[in-house]
A and B are shown apart, each in its own frame.
Chain A
Amino acid sequence: AQTVTQSQPEMSVQEAETVTLSCTYDTSESNYYLFWYKQPPSRQMILVIRQEAYKQQNATENRFSVNFQKAAKSFSLKISDSQLGDTAMYFCAFMKQNNNDMRFGAGTRLTVKP
């Protein structure tokens, strides 16, 4: 079974600075997808960024980018120019290609301080 590990239960960053959230996963599959979801206090799960494992290029969405290291099974999220609205729980998730079973990490609580 696939497992997803987020080793940082809590992190904080000053507004306008950069922070990196870590995620590692364990799988024997070669084709899969990786995701970062944000869950603000409203509880809504919001997709931040996604990465296909077959793509070597790291995904980027505005201030959010990933460092995908397939051999190391690592998928970290970098948030640049942190904003107060980035305060939330962040979940890393893994899903095999053509599969419906998405596995989540335990989450990292990020606080952006003014």
Chain B
Amino acid sequence: NAGVTQTPKFQVLKTGQSMTLQCAQDMNHNSMYWYRQDPGMGLRLIYYSASEGTTDKGEVPNGYNVSRLNKREFSLRLESAAPSQTSVYFCASKGLAGDTQYFGPGTRLTVL
């Protein structure tokens, strides 16, 4: 059981470039989440997917898009990266009956 995995671990982009962060979970969880973590702040929810085929905005969705490809995978896309999107991005998942979210190892993204 790998739990929640994220790729890549590190990424450097130039302003205006696009990229997709990948997340996968092998725990058969229904819900998946994308957070960002900035210095001096806790994690903030970008988007979530309560079940396969559904996605909803969180607290800070602007500048991002998501795709729930199947039950296992939930990707986060930056169409035109901006320096304000420099952050550490975490993916998480949660089971149907549970209340606890399990996190991936994070992706450190720098936008120059």
B42 in contact with A101 (CB, 8 Å): no
Is residue B74 within 8 Å, beta carbon to beta carbon, of the partner chain? Answer: no
Stretch from A62-70, A76-84, A102-110 forming part of the interface with B: A102-110
State the Cβ distance, B110 to closest chain A Cβ, in Å: 15
Q: What separation, in Å, do the CA atoms of A106 and B59 have in the docked complex?
A: 15
A43 in contact with B105 (CB, 8 Å): yes
Q: Contacts of B103 on A, CB cut-off 8 Å?
A: 37, 44-46
Q: Choose among B56, B90, B99 the residue that contacts A95 (Cβ–Cβ < 8 A).
A: B99
In the complex, chain B residues 63-112 whose Cβ is within 8 Å of any chain A Cβ? 88, 90, 92, 94, 99-103, 105-106, 108
Main secondary structure of the interface of B (DSSP, over half): strand
Q: Given contacts A50-B99, A95-B99, A101-B45, are A106 and B56 in contact (CB under 8 A)?
A: no
Contact with B along A54-76 (1 / 0, CB 8 A): 00000000000000000000000
Q: What separation, in Å, do the CA atoms of A101 and B60 have in the docked complex?
A: 11
B side interface size, CB within 8 A: 25
Main secondary structure of the interface of A (DSSP, over half): strand
A-B contact count (CB 8 A): 54
Q: Given contacts A47-B102, A106-B41, are A100 and B88 in contact (CB under 8 A)?
A: no
Can you add 17 more A-B contacts, CB < 8 Å, to A45-B43, A101-B45, A104-B43?
Answer: A4-B42, A35-B100, A42-B105, A91-B42, A91-B43, A95-B99, A100-B45, A100-B50, A101-B48, A101-B58, A101-B59, A102-B45, A102-B101, A104-B44, A105-B42, A106-B41, A107-B41
List the 7 shortest-distance A-B pairs measured between CB atoms, nearest first: A104-B42, A45-B103, A104-B43, A33-B99, A100-B48, A43-B106, A105-B42
Show the binding face of A for B, using Cβ within 8 Å.
Answer: 4, 33, 35, 37, 42-47, 50, 52, 91, 93, 95, 97, 100-107
